[in-house]
Amino acid sequence: MFLYNLTLQAPNAINQAILGNFSGTKQQELIVSHVSRIELLRPDTTVGKVHSILSHEVFGVIRSLAAFRLTGASKDYIVIGSDSGRIVILEYNPTKNVFEKVHQETFGKSGCRRIVPGQYLAVDPKGRAVMIGSMEKQKLVYILNRDIAARLTIGSPLEAHKSHTIVQHITGVDVGFENPIFACLEVDYSEADQDPTGEAFKETEKMLTYYELDLGLNHVVRKWSEAVDRKANLLVSVPGGSDGPSGVLVCSENYVTYKHIGSATLTVPIPRRENPLENKDRGLLIVSGVVHKMKNSFFLLLQSEEGDLYKVTVDHTGDTVNDIKIKYFDTVPVAAGLCILRSGFLFVASEFGNHHFYHFEELGDDSDTPEYSSSDFMSNDGEPLDIRVYFKPRPLKNLLLVDELTSMSPLTDAKVMNLADEDTPQIYALCGRGSRSTMRILRHGLEVTELAVSPLPANPTAVWTTRLKADDLYDQYIIVSFSNATLVLSIGETVEEVTDTGFLATTPTIAVQQLGQDALLQIYPQGIRHIRANRQVTEWRAPGGKSIVRAATNQQQVVIALTGGELVYFEVDDSENLSESHVRREMSGNVTCLSIQPLPVGRKRVRFLAVGCDDNTVRILSLAASSCLEPLSMQALSAVPESLVMIDMPDQISEGSLTTLYLNIGLQNGVLLRTVLDQTAGLLSDTRTRFLGARAVRLFELNMAGNPAVLALSSRPWLSYQLQSRIHLNPLSYEALEYAASFTSEQCPEGVVAISGNALKIFTIEKFGQVFNETAIPLKYTPRHFIVNPIHKTIAVIETEHSTYSAQEKKRALDGLGLEDATEHEELDPVIFGNTRSMPGKWASLIRVLSPLNGETSFTLELENNEAAFSIAVLNFAVEPSELFLAVGTAADLTLAPKSISSGFIHIYKFVNEGTALELVHKTAVDEIPYALLHFQGRLLAGIGRALRIYDLGKRKLLRKCENRNIPNAIVTLHNQGGRIVIGDVQESVHYASYIPADNKIVIFADDKMSRWMTCSTMIDYDTVAGGDKFGNFFVDRLPQKLSREIDEDEAGSKSVGKGYLHGAAHKVDMVAHYHVGDILTSMAKTSFVAGGRELILYTTLMGGIGIFVPFQTREDIDFFQTLEMHMRNEMPPLAGRDHLSYRGYHVPVKGTVDGDICEQYNLLTGDKKRMIAEELDRSPAEIQKKIEDMRIRAI
Amino acid sequence: DRSNLNSQLEHLQSKYVGTGHADTSKFEWGVNQARDSYASYIGHHPMLSYFALAENESIARVKYNITEKMVQPCGPPAERRE
């Protein structure tokens, strides 16, 4: 087996977010890191939307990001701290839309190591130096400067190491143009390590240390060091120089402190939420902070771990700080990064769940929220007082949510199924944490926003939109053709019928075109009407006995096909008349479709006409004056062409010209072909084929995302468009359409008007590049797993959340405090403010049954007695075959570290009311946590800690039938086929066992040679299992076939038991494939995405990614892609400086897998490099691109 | 050139924290291993998210806890026996 890995949806959790002017224009942009991917987001501040401009996979772990700007420059550079042992400086090139590596300096080994810098990055606010630090000991300072040609230079590293020191945080202090200073929060452990009494550890202090880079001496010195709160965790620098007093805010548990050399220490407590159920022993941390500088002032926004934002203002006179003030601002999701745009927007990169984009409505200057000032909380001797202050949380007041970016993180479980009986299966995924959790149903297709639907008197056959004059910005008319009439609608405030347009209303229409300067053209079966702006009409009549069947037009040229296959050509002449050419041409068969090249701006004539005939051919004819309607080339097809569209797409395929002309051919058998049309000779080459659906494909030219695009209508609509130098062909998540046209109006610059049945529909597409569109069903607690009831097609979800009040517990606690349930704090929306936090060791958990079709929850059951659900299975018992049961594994009074429980339980429920509700049958106590449950031959197979047991249904409880206690640690996954059971251990990879009915025992006969911390697995076939581990590895293990046969023939089980080998089972499985995905895998399934398509392994990751492994089918393909991958590694080394091969082999060398993501980066190479690689592979660049595209198309 | 080898080893030990030597105690070995693991957890964001999800804490809190644990991951050292 040899696999090809492809990312279908890149992980969308953000771990770093920075703001800057990366394009070098006034526009502020965001750069976010999705751990192994760097993305440029451009906020559109006029409409308040955030658009993704560029996303690039770096094949490494981005741990820190920083932006800096050289003094006097207008463009920001990006510094990346990664796991590569290198510091990398990138520049964004807006014309090519790529990140370019400016500098890459190696300083250490690769990997996320303790003493190799990369974890922390801090830049001098004036862009003169950057410090890159590690968790312990090492810190390097690089001086940034520019050379004579104004290029960025980077100095050799200056060391600021301090051994035996753990670093909590680093930031650059704003000191104006004095020597750059970096502030570090450090703990020296050297004494604690030597002192057996533990006294030294208690006395260990956390130090705030200033490292000064002496630019004159080219040397870093420890300038100042002072003890701060032991629980400090974050530094936020305060503007300095001419903007403010300089210094840093040290955020620690419960307090924010201002510190600077020679300045008084000022401390203010962090206001806490008023909450009767508050755990007073729990400290409050600040998780992120951001400074916003305005013309003459500045403020800081700090965010607590509950998500509350605080506005902090520093009251200063000159460089002397008098006071710091803190005030509750608003509550937003807990952020991994906060960015404030100058235009008054706040970007919140959530650590879990969707990212939010807010507009500042106010700056929190109101007086009704209490403000706390440091001067009120200092005792006389300068020590802070231990006082808690509170605020009352309230809905958003200063901020307004304007946009959301989807993030599926954390994605805990997913399944691919076709519960809704659609063309393609859906992905059901459990996403989110706490009260922001959802179940998301993903469908392959672009999201469509419907703007209007209006019914028409009859079923129309076609629709067009048209402008009235060549320089109109927007469409003015919608023309609808019926089988015997034509209707003209004018677009204004409302869409209304108009009659005095010059259009012939009593006939069907074949084509409509805005012609020349200000004329309109209506082509109908008997002739052509040329309608001038003054309503003067010129008619051209079809010759007797013949009628017009097809037409193709642009603003200057018109071609019509008459019955019998005769073509007639017209052109707009200088006096704006439509003049017929003297040349006519007889085609070999009936003409089924026509297309004329779109007219570039300023041109009078284009050269190519495409004609499709019913003899299964498409011909390219010339429209040049000298060779009018002369044939140039021909392509034979597998079926009759139904529709043709020629469009110009900007791309890099053909060097020299900026655009490539594509001929799109829709066939009657549902196939779409895309062919490159050579602009000089009119030859066709490089054909890409794709089956779209059962219906004949009709094509329409549109404008999407600023570029020409093609809408293809078959049994579902598809869109072929260009994004980030690749042509995408994605289905739309919309009903089947009959006919469509582009629609441009003031409110909707890039819309589509289409007909479906007797309705006229107007819609837009906004989220390009997101191949899945989602429907979300809200959940209450962090979802863990779900199963599908196979008979009634309902879904049962278990939701379990740590240290949270369950509904009953909360009521009890409130009653205990003498508060009624409906006190005012209940108004808080848990989706924004979270569920009420309880003590560690307390759990809230529920079982929910919902319908995937309407998304409605039909049943919920909150578990009582501090039980938490961890596993779920649907099954039927042989003793009661008529009923469908649900088994839920729970733990009571679970504490996480050290792990302990009072008891485990297996609940058995019966599905009632058509599978929409549950009824408890009984509950069986077990000694450990049941992490895995499975239906097994009419009984229940349960992994309970290290024991694997078979249970049968009894009257009062489950009856233990069989047990094996030889699993090393804890069973987390279970699968079976026939009598073979595959067990996944939390730490020790997979174990193969067989159930021997004669002896009623389970025998483990094979295990893995290496240990793996399993998170998910799936059986690919009887002998093979694929799995993922906590370190982001994917692997496939296979039982040798000979052994597999022997085990199955061996009914007594003597061979299976064998003699243990190396403290494990008698036999070992072989590793077939191994690959580092880079993110924790949370679910995996063998499935096929296209009906009847190829089977593949689909996986989901914790950060919200979806990917696939497709098996190769021929040896040639394997060789081809392996060679291509090798060339790509050389020609396009990853941006963050990590070696691709060692990244994919992070823990174990890559085996049996090709990385499709790096192969797809072939499209981003320059033409020279493309050709060079193509020569090495004995192919043309187009062939290579086609092969790469085919791999993706065949899978999805 | 035994001294040369020794000096090379010492150089390694001073450059790379955690390099073992003939007299590495169980405590030192454990402490180094724990600090290495914790640093790796912090470096790999998905790992931090995973812990944060299980504990229902914010990622920043998990990172803070782990960094604090790096100071003394295995408790105080054992009494030295001469």
Among the partner residues B58, B70, B79, nearest to A135 by beta-carbon distance: B70
CB atoms A305 and B50 under 8 Å: no
CB atoms B53 and A433 under 8 Å: yes
A306 to chain B: nearest residue by CA?
B58
B78 to chain A: nearest residue by CA?
A196
Chain A CB contacts of B36 under 8 Å are 113-114
CB atoms B43 and A119 under 8 Å: yes
> How far apart are the CA of B4 and the nearest CA of chain A, in angstroms?
24
pLDDT of residue A825 exceeding 60, the answer is no
Chain A CB contacts of B61 under 8 Å are 285, 287, 305
Q: Which of A335-344, A582-591, A927-936 has the lowest mean pLDDT?
A: A582-591
> How far apart are the CA of A799 and the nearest CA of chain B, in angstroms?
12
CA A558 to centroid of chain Cα atoms: 45
Q: Which of A533-542, A656-665, A835-844, B12-21 has the lowest mean pLDDT?
A: A656-665
pLDDT for the residue A365? 86
CB atoms B60 and A234 under 8 Å: yes
pLDDT of residue A518 exceeding 90, the answer is no
> How far apart are the CA of B37 and the nearest CA of chain A, in angstroms?
8
CB atoms B64 and A285 under 8 Å: yes
- Report which of A434, A389, A395 is spatially closest to residue A274, judged by C-alpha positions: A389
Give this prediction's pTM: 0.92
Q: How far is CA A894 from CA A316, A800, A904, A928, in A?
A: 51, 12, 9, 10
CB atoms A305 and B57 under 8 Å: yes
Lookup: tokens for B68: 């604090």
Strand-pairing partners, residue A399, are A360
- Report which of A1113, A1111, A1083, A1112 is spatially closest to residue A1098, judged by C-alpha positions: A1083
Task: Identify the three-state secondary structure at position A979.
Answer: coil
Among the partner residues A113, A196, A1078, nearest to B39 by beta-carbon distance: A113
Whether A738 and A674 have beta carbons less than 8 Å apart is answered as: no
Task: Identify the three-state secondary structure at position A218.
Answer: coil
Among the partner residues A35, A189, A288, nearest to B71 by beta-carbon distance: A189
Among the partner residues A115, A193, A433, nearest to B77 by beta-carbon distance: A193
> How far apart are the CA of A841 and the nearest CA of chain B, in angstroms?
10
Radius of gyration of chain B (CA): 17
Average pLDDT over residues A583-591: 88
How far does chain B reach from its first CA to its final CA, in angstroms? 30
User: Cα separation of A186 and A120, whole Å?
Assistant: 13
CB atoms B76 and A196 under 8 Å: yes
pLDDT of residue A818 exceeding 80, the answer is no
Q: Which of A207-211, A240-244, A350-354, A797-801 has the lowest mean pLDDT?
A: A240-244
Q: What is the dihedral sign for C-alpha A343, A345, A349, A355? A: negative
CB atoms A305 and B60 under 8 Å: yes
pLDDT of residue A380 exceeding 70, the answer is no
The verdict on B12 touching A (C-beta cutoff 8 Å) is no
The verdict on B47 touching A (C-beta cutoff 8 Å) is yes
Tens-digit pLDDT profile for residues A945-989: 999 999 999 999 999 999 999 899 999 999 999 889 999 999 999
Chain B CB contacts of A410 under 8 Å are 49-50, 53
Q: Which of A135, A284, A305, A806 to mutate to test the interface with B (most CBs of B within 10 A)?
A: A135
pLDDT for the residue A40? 95
Chain B CB contacts of A17 under 8 Å are none
pLDDT for the residue A654? 46
pLDDT of residue A472 exceeding 90, the answer is no
Give residues with Cβ within 8 angstroms of A979, minimum separation 6.
A937, A994, A995, A996, A997
CB atoms A113 and B36 under 8 Å: yes
Burial class (CB in 10 A: 0-12, 13-18, 19+), A547: middle
Quote the mean pLDDT of chain A. 91
Given pLDDT bands bounded at 50, 70 and 90, which one contains residue A338?
very high
Q: Which of B58, B79, B81 to mutate to test the interface with A (most CBs of A within 10 A)?
A: B58
Long-range contacts of A650-654 (CB under 8 A, 24+ apart): A650/A707, A650/A722, A651/A722, A651/A725, A651/A727, A652/A725, A652/A1163, A652/A1166, A652/A1167, A653/A686, A653/A1181, A653/A1182, A653/A1185, A654/A679
% of chain A with per-residue pLDDT over 90: 70
Give residues with Cβ within 8 angstroms of A1045, minimum separation 6.
none
Tens-digit pLDDT profile for residues A683-708: 998 888 888 888 999 999 998 877 88
User: Cα separation of B80 and B82, whole Å?
Assistant: 6
A804 to chain B: nearest residue by CA?
B56
DSSP one-letter string for A550-615? EEEE-SSEEEEEETTTEEEEEEE-TTS-EEEEEEEEE-SS-EEEEEEPPPPTT-S---EEEEEETT
pLDDT of residue A384 exceeding 70, the answer is no
For residues A459-496, one letter each, b for 16 or more C-beta atoms within 10 angstroms of the residue's C-beta and e for the rest, the string is: ebebbbbbbbeeeeeebbbbbbbbeebbbbbebeeebe
> How far apart are the CA of B34 and the nearest CA of chain A, in angstroms?
10
CB atoms B53 and A896 under 8 Å: no
pLDDT of residue A147 exceeding 50, the answer is yes
Tens-digit pLDDT profile for residues A933-948: 999 999 999 999 999 9
pLDDT of residue A1066 exceeding 90, the answer is no
* Higher-pLDDT residue of A1063, A154: A154
- Report which of A133, A78, A71 is spatially closest to residue A108, judged by C-alpha positions: A133
CB atoms A1080 and B39 under 8 Å: no
Chain B CB contacts of A194 under 8 Å are 77
pLDDT for the residue A381? 63
Average pLDDT over residues A1033-1040: 96
Give residues with Cβ within 8 angstroms of A607, minimum separation 6.
A597, A622, A623, A624, A679, A682
Chain A CB contacts of B38 under 8 Å are 135
Q: Which of A838-842, A1058-1062, A1157-1161 has the lowest mean pLDDT?
A: A1058-1062
Given pLDDT bands bounded at 50, 70 and 90, which one contains residue A798?
very high
User: Cα separation of A1036 and A1094, whole Å?
Assistant: 18
CB atoms within 10 A of CB A937: 12
Whether A930 and A904 have beta carbons less than 8 Å apart is answered as: yes
pLDDT for the residue B9? 85
Among the partner residues B39, B72, B78, nearest to A112 by beta-carbon distance: B39
Chain A CB contacts of B43 under 8 Å are 61, 63, 83, 112-113, 118-119, 135
* Residue corresponding to tokens 């409505």: A361
Given pLDDT bands bounded at 50, 70 and 90, which one contains residue A884?
very high
The verdict on B46 touching A (C-beta cutoff 8 Å) is yes
Q: Which of B26, B28, B44 to mutate to test the interface with A (most CBs of A within 10 A)?
A: B44
* Higher-pLDDT residue of A772, A170: A170
Given pLDDT bands bounded at 50, 70 and 90, which one contains residue A398?
very high
Q: How far is CA A1139 from CA A85, A154, A535, A1148, in A?
A: 10, 22, 69, 15
pLDDT of residue A1054 exceeding 70, the answer is no
pLDDT of residue A383 exceeding 80, the answer is no
The verdict on B50 touching A (C-beta cutoff 8 Å) is yes
Tens-digit pLDDT profile for residues A30-71: 999 999 999 999 999 888 889 888 999 999 999 999 999 999
ipTM: 0.95
H-assigned helices in A1032-1100: 1041-1049, 1054-1057
* Higher-pLDDT residue of A42, B82: A42
